[in-house]
Amino acid sequence: MDVLAGIRSPEDLRRLSASEVETLATEIRQFLIEKVSATGGHLGPNLGVVELSIALHRVFDSPREPIIFDTSHQSYVHKILTGRADQFDHLRQQGGLSGYTCRSESEHDWTESSHASAALSYADGLSKAKALSGHHKDNVVAVVGDGALTGGMCWEALNNIAADHDRNVVIVVNDNGRSYAPTIGGFAENLAQLRMQPVYDSVMEHGKNTLNNMGWVGRRTFEALHAFKEGVKSTVLPSEMFPELGMKYVGPVNGHDLVAVEEALTYARDFSGPLIVHVVTEKGRGFRPAEADTDQLMHTTGIIDPITGEPKSAASPGWTEIFTEELLDAAAERNDIVAITAAMAGPTGLLPFKDRFPDRFFDVGIAEQHALTSAAGLALGGMKPVVALYSTFLNRAIDQLIMDVGLLKQPVSIVLDRAGITGSDGASHNGIWDITLTSVVPGIRIAAPRDAQQLREQFRESLAITDGPSIVRYPKGGLPTEQPALNRYEDGVDVLAQEKAPVDTHEAPSVLLVGVGTCAGDFAEIAGDIAAQGVTVTVVDPRWVVPIAPSLLELAQEHDLVVCAEDGLIHGGVGSLLSEAMDAAGIDVPRRCCGFPRVFPQHASRSELMAELELDAPGLRRQVSEWIEELFGQAEDGQ
């Protein structure tokens, strides 16, 4: 990889000849396949933007002219071109390179949220700041996928960008026809029509021929650029999608033709005012298994064989598969069940539902707000909606959950995949906020299954709720060993373990361990070790963590210390809610909470983060033991 070895910054890139740039594109694809197959990561999206990323950095002066990648999982090539190639051995690993743009890594990274449809709003604000600070001629570039453009926030931003023709905002639409799945809706159909227009191809061929005839070897001549601009003017017009906004449009451009992309971006750079460049790319280009991947399993991968694309280790059934099975069984029994997702049918386990019940499946695109309010409408019409999302993406629809679902008391079942700590995808993909945010909705019910059997039971219980919204949340990763209950209270609280102290139990202090989700199994695992300190121990799983069950308050009253553990935020979490309920009931018993602090988690594996926060079994054992010694003076040997 001789050319790639010489790239340390965009300045190095601009010195390359045309043939060297072509070689670089080939070397970058080889590099991505080698590195991402070893660590896991977003392979397909990055293979598709190699030429586009090269052209962006050859044309625009980053970081003076910001390049903002919407979602930014497709920023690996950008990272390579800005001097971070030597860090890819630790991609998405603790202390290593982030899988998204990251402000602490490079001055070329302006944002770091991985939620879609935000780039145009960032660009709108940055371009306003440029104008206000006297740099109105600088460009601000937003690279947004066709999938992200299904999100309403993009159109709110476009409405503002188009209103001011004095700001230089270049909107590059990276059109590969997919997000996680094929892009859906009227927008996608319109974009597909534009994609088929031949006019720009002929213009680009004219431009290339002109350049080739002049012996172009990497530097533009005035005459060639003038010829290109004269030809392209015929296609700079308001597109079919933006007639009311009046946005100027260039395209479609073959996103894998380096000359075509670079010349289109050069025109956009020199154009005065906002402009859209429509670039057509192929997701997974250059890696046959990814090119042939119709289910988009290579949108993001685990560790794979760099030749065949096959996973290095077989995946065992996980939480998502259990949900899929139970949803299919329930839908076969009830024809009022409908399933809704926001461009995440595959990752949330809804593809089998789509195949079996196509008329009852709705993918609304990257539009979580719409998903929730549409679900409320379906419920008003007599249906039983099941909305399947990643926990982190529900954050975007809290207003709709409160006002459009909760206020109307509609029985919408929300299933949150990747709840709690998720790990390698970093801060904005962790699902640590959902309980804190959603528990404020009057009348909501929230379930946190501890194992596969409880997921089945609690999802069915959610479907039976008729007087308001409910949430069933489960984590990323493999399923834990099933933990049977010793007994269950009438309000659904499970007792998982009861351990007596090795001393007179009438004299020994008593500890109630309240485990949320998988933390319940961890508490059951360490109950005997805790009891060995000279205390009696009761371990319970509330199952439905919101609202607080009456039996949980009764148990709290009967113990000398209450400890709650959860893999969400401590602030406003289950432990906080339990403490508030105890205060309201006049229960004056010491209580402690184990959970996530109010910080943004860095990327690492789920197990590494759980250990770092002492939310795994050893960490919980240490914390509880310390509190017991602090409150009761019990020694390790129980004396």
Catalytic residues: 283, 368, 396
Going by the DSSP 8-state scheme, the letter that residue 86 receives in this structure is G
What residues form the annotated binding site for Mg(2+)?
146, 176
Q: Please, how many CA atoms are within 13 Å of residue 228, restricted to the half-sphere of its CB? A: 28
In one-letter notation, the amino acid at residue 559 is H
DSSP output for 384-402: EEEEEEEHHHHGGGHHHII
| Gap between the Cα atoms of 261 and 463, Å rounded | 51
Closest by CA to 632, choosing from 534, 493, 555, is 534
Token reading at 339: 């399933």
Tell me how far apart the alpha carbons of residues 184 and 365 are, in angstroms, rounded to a whole number: 6
User: Helices 152-161 and 119-132 sit at what angle, rounded to 10 degrees?
Assistant: 20
Binding residues: 73, 114-116, 146-148, 176, 287, 368
Strand ranges across the sheet with 591-596: 487-488, 494-499, 536-541, 510-515, 561-569, 591-596
Distances (CA, A) of 38 to 25, 41, 298, 302, 310: 20, 9, 14, 8, 12
Binding residues for thiamine diphosphate: 73, 114-116, 147-148, 176, 287, 368
The DSSP element (H or E) to which 561 belongs, if any, is: strand 561-569
Candidates 121, 145, 113, 147; CA nearest to 429 is 113
Strand order in the sheet with 413-417: 361-363, 337-341, 384-390, 413-417, 470-473, 445-447, 544-546
Q: Which two tokens stand for residue 150?
A: 């299904």
H-helix or E-strand containing 260?
A: helix 258-270
DSSP three-state, residue 160: helix
Q: Which is nearest to 523 in space by CA: 498, 489, 558, 548?
A: 498
- What does residue 58 show for φ and ψ, rounded to 5 degrees? -80, -30
Residues 119 and 68: their CA atoms lie apart, in Å, by 6
> How far is residue 498's CA from residue 536's CA, in Å, rounded to a whole number?
8
**Which structure tokens are listed for 550?**
């009456």
Query: What are phi and psi for residue 477, nearest 5 degrees?
Result: 110, -175
Give the type of residue at 31.
F
- C-alpha dihedral sign at 600, 602, 607, 613: negative
Pair of tokens at residue 448:
């946190």
DSSP-assigned letters across all residues of 474-503:
--SSBPPPP---SEE-TTSPEEEEEE--SS
